[in-house]
Amino acid sequence: MTDTQAPAVRTDNTERATPKRETHIKMAARDVNVFYGTSHAIRDVSIDVDMENVTAFIGPSGCGKSTFLRTLNRMNDTIPIARVTGDITLDGEDIYSPDMDVVQLRARVGMVFQKPNPFPKSIYENVAYGPRIHGLAPAKRDLDGIVESALKRAGLWEEVKDRLDDSGTALSGGQQQRLCIARAIAVDPEVILMDEPCSALDPIATAKIEELIHALRGKYAIVIVTHNMQQAARVSQKTAFFHLGHLVEYGETSEIFTNPREERTKDYITGRYG
Amino acid sequence: MNNPPAPDAGAPRRPTDWRGTAMQRRIRRRYAAERRFRLIGLGAVVLSAGFLAFLLITMLSNGIAGFTRTEVTLPIDFRAAQLDVTPQQLESRGADLALAGAGLEELVERSATAAFGAHGPDVISPHAWTGVRDALKDDPSLLNRKAAISVPVSQDLKSALDGAGKPEMQAIAAKLKQHDMIGSSFDFGFLMSADSTDPTDVGIWGAVKGSLFTMLVTLAIAFPIGVLSAVYLEEYARKNRWTDLIEVSINNLAAVPSIIFGLLGLAVFLSFMNLPRSASLVGGLTLALMIMPVIVIASRNAIKAVPPSIRDAALGVGASKVQVIFHHVLPLALPGILTGTIIGMARALGETAPLLMIGMRAFIAQPPEGLTDPATVLPVQIFLWSDQISRGFVERTSAAIIVLLLFLLAMNALAIYLRNRFETRW
Ligand SMILES: Nc1ncnc2c1ncn2[C@@H]1O[C@H](COP(=O)(O)OP(=O)(O)O)[C@@H](O)[C@H]1O
Ligand SMILES: [Mg+2]
């Protein structure tokens, strides 16, 4: 990896396409490597995720998008053979330092998974679980308020307000995924990571999630993994292209899709592999 | 774009003859194989259902008699006997003592001689007088009356009624039957008393209570330890040679013959820890050792079956490991854990051999009052009764088997109920 891939260097390039906006960096990764046993899944990745933009990770299947995403909230800790080196910071704090409480970190950096995975409990309990274990709602009234506002932000309130006691697993796939987003929002995270949140959904449900991502932009730093390039183009303002564990290119989405600098990026975007 | 070369489509293609004779034969053979397999399966089911039906029918036909007692109507003239007790004494606590002191037993024997001849005392059960005593306590006004009271018959007369036993008894039996003085009623004594040497006087309650105490100890020890071991092995233990070894050992322990656990219990709890012999405490501990592997294996499988996506979901909102386990994994694994536990408990309930080893085969005429009292359990009681020569014990044995089967049935029903109750749909 040469320095040209470091995100800071891209800024002069992107200035051409979009007027420079004031962004503040939420999470920063420097020279991150991830190993599964001896297999080297992520190689020297450095990237900044900011508060104002939605960042999309694209790349062929198996290139390490999920692996890298999971380093950002230390979900890789649950895989015994996974090992992470390099620095990742959240607001300048090293998230892999011994002082960082991983439970609190995961509350601050929420996650939405590929397959909707609501708890087999009521809709209310699904959303209330996070605030409850973190003690965010001292009284039942506060909890009700948190649940309502989280469901509203996730665009699900109107559909479920009359049946909060129904099982979360009885909802349709798209509703389940929005419930999972509401569950993540309910603990008031700063960053939301989404790993192919629409890959199990039909086009209409997908459109709803994309709308939702638009609405949430700016309130949370959002990172979304997708293998669907149209989706990346629709929802993100910044795109990172991964290939074989490398971060090949990172920049403004419009730039990447219209004028990629790297041959590999161009090949991928034009459908040569994927 | 960069497509792989198309496969060669130029080779000539012969159409498959789906209607040819070879094909027809293959179809017929396939149908025949399916029919054969269905018949074999049906045969197996019918055979096992037949065995089950045979068992149930023999048990029920023998056992129903074990729940009833045969009675004879005994006329007693209390007024003429002038028992030295007052009606006030009969109402008081010391009634039993007063009646025994006043010679009630002799009165009953004398009345039997008067009613049935010289062999009279052999006609009625040796403790027939306790029935009379209870009747007097219920109705003190009997004291200055003549009354006919139903009392249990002796084992000898019972055999005679069935056409066996001594000739003089058979003669009396025939006469009593003729005068319609023989009756039968549900034997509450059987459900309320403990073991005895006389089959007309035995009861199952001692063994039932012993079984309940024993199961209580087994459950209290085996369930928490088994489930926690399973949680530790599944969630915390590193996968290495040691955990592999433990896993193999547990699987082997589940297959160890139960009598070995009896020897273990004898060595550890009696010889080493000096716990009381024959106590349900020791029996429960021994059976807990026996079913722990079953619970560990069932719980581990149930925990393994919890989808990883649920763990991810909980970890993703910042649940700690313990919270993931107690809020999500265990509740979802609960049906499997409970089913495994109840299967283990049912096995423990029916277990005899290990309990014989720790001395639970003693003759115990008092239901146990606590965990350290000498006790026996249902299967051991069945084993002991089946060993008796007296004919009266045959019916009692079958009756006890029915009670045991009812317990097992109830536990299995509970297992099914719990599984359905806690099962989550995905
Ligand atoms: N739990 C794991 N154990 C071992 N190897 C893994 C594991 N998860 C992913 N990998 C490997 O890491 C590489 C990247 O996988 P992943 O991050 O899932 O890719 P993507 O999400 O881009 O499709 C793949 O080669 C995959 O086989
Ligand atoms: Mg992936």
Q: What is the CATH number of the domain that holds A257?
A: 3.40.50.300
Same domain, yes or no: B143 and B292: no
Listed ranges A3-7, A66-70, B84-88, B142-146; the one with the highest mean pLDDT: A66-70
Cβ within 8 Å, pair B312-A129: no
DSSP string, B23-36: HHHHHHHHHHHHHH
Name the nearest CA neighbour of B197 among B385, B68, B406: B385
Q: What is the CATH number of the domain that holds B227?
A: 1.10.3720.10
Phi, psi for A41 (deg, rounded to 5): -90, -30
Beta bridge partners of B21: none
Contacts of B313 in chain A (CB under 8 A): 113, 117-119, 180, 183
Ligand number with the minimum distance to the CA of A60: 1
**Closest to B328 (Cβ–Cβ): which among A75, A112, A119?**
A119
Kindly tell me if the per-residue pLDDT of A274 is higher than 70.
no
Is the confidence metric ipTM above 0.95 for this complex?
no
Same domain, yes or no: B224 and B264: yes
Q: How confident is the model at residue A4 (pLDDT cuts 50, 70, 90)?
A: very low
Mean pLDDT of all residues in A230-239: 93
Domain hosting residue A200, numbered range: 51-69+102-269
Phi, psi for A252 (deg, rounded to 5): -60, 135
Q: Is residue B17 part of a domain?
A: no
For chain B, the distance separating the N- and C-terminal CA atoms, rounded to the nearest angstrom, is 42
Kindly tell me if the per-residue pLDDT of B105 is higher than 90.
no
Distance CA A120, CA B223 (A): 25
Same domain, yes or no: B167 and B292: no
Q: How confident is the model at residue B361 (pLDDT cuts 50, 70, 90)?
A: confident
The DSSP code for A6 is: S
Kindly tell me if the per-residue pLDDT of B127 is higher than 70.
yes
Q: Which atom of ligand 1 is nearest to the CA of A196?
A: 21
- Taking the alpha carbons of B418, B424, B425, B426 in that order, is the dihedral positive or negative? negative
Cβ within 8 Å, pair B317-A106: yes
Are B318 and A103 in contact by the 8 Å Cβ rule? The answer is yes
Q: What is the pLDDT of residue B8?
A: 66
Are A229 and A257 in contact by the 8 Å Cβ rule? The answer is yes
Q: Is residue A127 part of a domain?
A: yes
Same domain, yes or no: B182 and B328: no
pLDDT in tens, A12-56: 444 344 445 567 889 999 999 999 999 999 999 999 999 999 999
Mean pLDDT of all residues in B92-105: 80
Q: Which of A111, A134, A273 to mutate to test the interface with B (most CBs of B within 10 A)?
A: A111
Phi, psi for B72 (deg, rounded to 5): -125, 145
Domain hosting residue B54, numbered range: 29-64
Q: What is the pLDDT of residue B425?
A: 53
Helices (H), ranges, A187-244: 203-216, 229-235
Contacts of A110 in chain B (CB under 8 A): 316-317
Helices (H), ranges, B238-362: 241-253, 258-265, 280-304, 308-316, 321-323, 330-349, 353-357
Same domain, yes or no: B387 and B294: yes
Distance CA A73, CA B420 (A): 37
Q: What is the pLDDT of residue A269?
A: 86
pLDDT in tens, A159-210: 999 999 999 999 999 999 999 999 999 999 999 999 999 988 889 989 989 9
Q: How far is the CA of A233 from the centre of ligand 1 (A)?
A: 24
Q: What is the pLDDT of residue B1?
A: 46
Q: Which amino acid is at A235?
A: V
Protein residue with its CA nearest to atom 7 in ligand 1: A36
Cβ within 8 Å, pair B311-A183: no
Ligand 1: which of A32, A33, A35, A36 to mutate, judged by most atoms within 8 Å of the beta carbon?
A36
Same domain, yes or no: B53 and B79: no
Ligand number with the minimum distance to the CA of A80: 1
Q: Is residue B12 part of a domain?
A: no
Same domain, yes or no: B41 and B72: no
The DSSP code for A3 is: G
Query: Count of CB atoms within 10 A of residue B318's CB?
Result: 26
Q: Is residue A75 part of a domain?
A: no
Q: How far is the CA of B215 from the centre of ligand 2 (A)?
A: 50
CA distances for B86 relative to B77, B83, B130, B142, B143, angstroms:
16, 9, 18, 11, 9
Protein residue with its CA nearest to atom 1 in ligand 1: A79
Same domain, yes or no: B289 and B359: yes
Residues framing ligand 1 (Cβ under 6 A): A 36, 41, 59, 61-67, 79
Q: Is residue B46 part of a domain?
A: yes
Helices (H), ranges, B305-363: 308-316, 321-323, 330-349, 353-357
Q: How far is the CA of A64 from the centre of ligand 1 (A)?
A: 6
Same domain, yes or no: B147 and B288: no
Q: Is residue B94 part of a domain?
A: yes
Distance CA A51, CA B383 (A): 77
Contacts of A117 in chain B (CB under 8 A): 307, 309-310, 312-313
Q: What is the pLDDT of residue B5?
A: 57
- Taking the alpha carbons of A41, A47, A50, A53 in that order, is the dihedral positive or negative? negative
Q: What is the pLDDT of residue B82?
A: 77
Q: Which residue has the higher pLDDT, A5 or B384?
A: B384
Cβ within 8 Å, pair A75-B315: yes
Kindly tell me if the per-residue pLDDT of B112 is higher than 90.
no
Domain boundary among B7, B39, B64: B64
Q: Is residue B309 part of a domain?
A: yes
Instruction: Provide the CB-side half-sphere exposure for A65 (13 A, CA).
Output: 25
Cβ within 8 Å, pair B318-A167: no
Q: What is the pLDDT of residue B222?
A: 96
Residues 6+ apart with CB under 8 A from B85: B95, B98, B99, B102, B143
Same domain, yes or no: B371 and B340: yes
Kindly tell me if the per-residue pLDDT of B414 is higher than 60.
yes
Q: Is residue B1 part of a domain?
A: no
Q: What is the pLDDT of residue A39?
A: 95
Mean pLDDT of all residues in B233-256: 90
pLDDT in tens, A91-141: 999 999 999 999 999 999 999 999 999 999 999 999 999 999 999 888 899
Q: Is residue B349 part of a domain?
A: yes
CA distances for A195 relative to A64, A161, A252, B413, angstroms:
12, 27, 20, 44
Q: How confident is the model at residue B124 (pLDDT cuts 50, 70, 90)?
A: confident
Cβ within 8 Å, pair A183-B317: yes
Chain B residue set in contact with A, beta carbons under 8 Å: 1-2, 238-239, 307, 309-320, 323, 327-328, 332, 424-426
Kindly tell me if the per-residue pLDDT of B61 is higher than 90.
no
Q: What is the pLDDT of residue B4?
A: 55
**Closest to A115 (Cβ–Cβ): which among B1, B309, B318?**
B309
Q: What is the pLDDT of residue B103?
A: 81
pLDDT in tens, A48-104: 999 999 999 999 999 999 999 999 999 999 898 999 999 999 999 999 999 999 999
DSSP string, B47-62: HHHHHHHHHHHHHHHH
Phi, psi for B383 (deg, rounded to 5): -60, -45
Q: How confident is the model at residue A9 (pLDDT cuts 50, 70, 90)?
A: very low
CA distance A228 to chain B (A): 19
- Model-level pTM? 0.81
Cβ within 8 Å, pair A103-B424: no
Surrounding residues of ion ligand 2, Cβ less than 5 A: A 66
Distance CA A42, CA A244 (A): 8
Q: Which residue has the higher pLDDT, A72 or B191?
A: A72
Contacts of B423 in chain A (CB under 8 A): none
What is the rounded average pLDDT for all residues in chain B? 87
**How many domains does one find in chain B?**
3
Distance CA B97, CA B130 (A): 11
- Taking the alpha carbons of A143, A148, A154, A156 in that order, is the dihedral positive or negative? positive
Same domain, yes or no: B176 and B218: no
**Closest to B1 (Cβ–Cβ): which among A104, A130, A272?**
A272
Q: Is residue A40 part of a domain?
A: no
Same domain, yes or no: B41 and B98: no
Cβ within 8 Å, pair B1-A75: no
Helix/strand/coil (H, E, C) string of B182-204?
EEEEECHHHHHCCCCCCCCCCCC
How much of chain A, in percent, has pLDDT values that exceed 90?
74
**How many domains does one find in chain A?**
1
Mean pLDDT of all residues in B401-422: 87
Distance CA B63, CA B403 (A): 10
Task: State the maximum Cα–Cα separation within chain A, in Å, rounded to a whole number.
Answer: 57
Ligand number with the minimum distance to the CA of A69: 1
Cβ within 8 Å, pair B317-A129: yes
Q: Is residue A92 part of a domain?
A: no
How many contacts does A have with B, using Cβ atoms within 8 A?
A: 72
Q: Is residue B215 part of a domain?
A: yes
Q: Is residue A145 part of a domain?
A: yes
Q: Which atom of ligand 1 is nearest to the CA of A70?
A: 17
Q: How confident is the model at residue A250 (pLDDT cuts 50, 70, 90)?
A: very high
Distance CA B30, CA B143 (A): 85
Q: What is the pLDDT of residue A13?
A: 42
